[in-house]
Amino acid sequence: MPGPRFVADPPEWTRRVEMGGLTALFHIPSGMTHLLAAPAPQILDVIANNPGDAAEILSRMTVDFDVDGGEDAILARLAELEASGLVSRV
Amino acid sequence: MRHEVQLQVGPVGFRVGSDWSAPIEALRALYEGYPAPSGASDFTVRLEAERPWRRWVRPSVAIRGDYTLPDAAPLSLEHGLLAAEMGMNLQMALGQKRYLLLHASTVEKDGRALLMTGHSGSGKSTLAAILGERGWRLMGDEFALLDPEDGRLYAFPRAVSLKNGAISVVAGIADETRLGPLLTGTPKGSIRHLRPRAEALERMAEPAKPTLILFPRFGRDLTPAVRPVGAAEVFVRLTQASTNYVALGEAGFNALAGLVQKTPARAIDYPDTEAALALVAELWAELT
């Protein structure tokens, strides 16, 4: 059974700057600043305006990014991103 | 108001009014040589009697102005100069929208700025005051103004607020004519203000390129040491050191991220002033 599907805002709604291995992200609609570690920024990239569940996200990401921990790791990061308001369920 | 003075400090014009003459006279003496704003002032500070009769009976100075903290405790009239200084700080902290305001001290040499930030007691203000007496241009001991448009730091060279132990350290090397009265028993202990050297006033409109961000830490038992600080940590600490980062929104993010990406940062531990000055000289020589 497919899991919950998540979507992120389009890239133009955020500003990002790499900072010594972390990503500082400014979310324009909320005015909030977030400091993200991989693979959170990569998850946002693959579901920006393009919803997916953990399995789909994993398959989109593994094209050019190794994800340790598989779907469980993706689900854990999605829960954090949802709590911080950067992704929502569809 | 009955008594008033207008002062230009860097890019900001203040109008300070008072129910009493003493705080304005003290301010005029301390800020001798500062220009008046060429146009309308950006901020107004009003030192008012807390109640009408408190102009005469146990005078009590309430700090008011364009921006006011409702719960701020009034000060006694003998601390009126401090009230004026706090009023100007308050207008900047609550009302400044043009620049990203960092709670930091800044000194400049050859167009390059050294930015120092840290918790109260870290020594950033004292270090800036001492460097300002030793060949650097003091740009400010309290607030650094980062311009989101060009990424440069603008000076805000208010009188330096020397507190407690720092008073004797700095008063010993600065000339007496630039020192204000010793204020004892204030909410922050003993305070004495120092007007920066004439060069800092003459060049107050000149910005500088951020060149080094320093996080000083003072402790009598510390061994002098220099540590690198990661960009993400610098970024977070500077967001915490800014009074208007959230209010500036995207412009604030872009300005701060740009500053952090382009400017090296170090933390230093120091047990005394001479050790701090040696570390600053060493780091500055490496970077410039």
Amino acid, res. B82: L
Same domain, B153 and B280: yes
Instruction: Mark which of B53, B77, B95 sits at the end of a domain.
Output: B95
Same domain, B107 and B149: yes
This model of the complex carries an ipTM of: 0.88
Distance from CA of A31 to the nearest CA of B (A): 6
Same domain, B54 and B21: yes
Same domain, B275 and B205: yes
Same domain, B69 and B37: yes
CB contact under 8 A, A19 and B246: no
Backbone angles phi, psi at B42, to 5 degrees: -75, -35
Kindly state whether A19 is in contact with chain B, defined as any CB-CB distance less than 8 angstroms. yes
Same domain, B185 and B267: yes
Same domain, B154 and B279: yes
CB contact under 8 A, B232 and A28: no
Same domain, B204 and B270: yes
Count of helix runs (H) and strand runs (E) in chain A: 3, 5
Residue of B163, B91, B236 lying closest to A17 (CA atoms): B236
Kindly state whether A13 is in contact with chain B, defined as any CB-CB distance less than 8 angstroms. no
Range of the domain at B42: 3-95
The separation between the first and the last C-alpha atoms of chain A, rounded to the nearest angstrom, is 16
pLDDT in tens, chain B (288 residues): 789 999 999 999 999 999 999 999 999 999 999 999 999 999 999 999 988 877 778 888 999 999 999 888 899 999 999 999 999 999 999 999 999 999 999 999 999 999 999 988 888 999 999 999 999 999 999 999 999 999 999 999 999 999 998 999 998 899 999 999 999 999 889 999 999 999 999 999 999 999 999 999 999 999 999 999 999 999 999 999 999 999 999 999 999 999 999 999 999 999 999 999 999 999 999 988
Distance from CA of A56 to the nearest CA of B (A): 31
Instruction: Mark which of B50, B77, B95 sits at the end of a domain.
Output: B95
Same domain, B104 and B183: yes
Same domain, B172 and B147: yes
On chain A, the residues whose CB falls within 8 A of the CB of B246 are 31
Residue of B127, B30, B138, B167 lying closest to B88 (CA atoms): B30
Global pTM exceeds 0.90: yes
Q: Do B99 and B145 meet the contact criterion of CB atoms below 8 Å apart? A: yes
- Angstrom CA distances, B104 to B137, B199, B214, stand at 15, 20, 10
Q: Which of B232, B236, B249 sits opposite A31 (nearest CB)?
A: B249
Instruction: Mark which of B55, B71, B95 sits at the end of a domain.
Output: B95
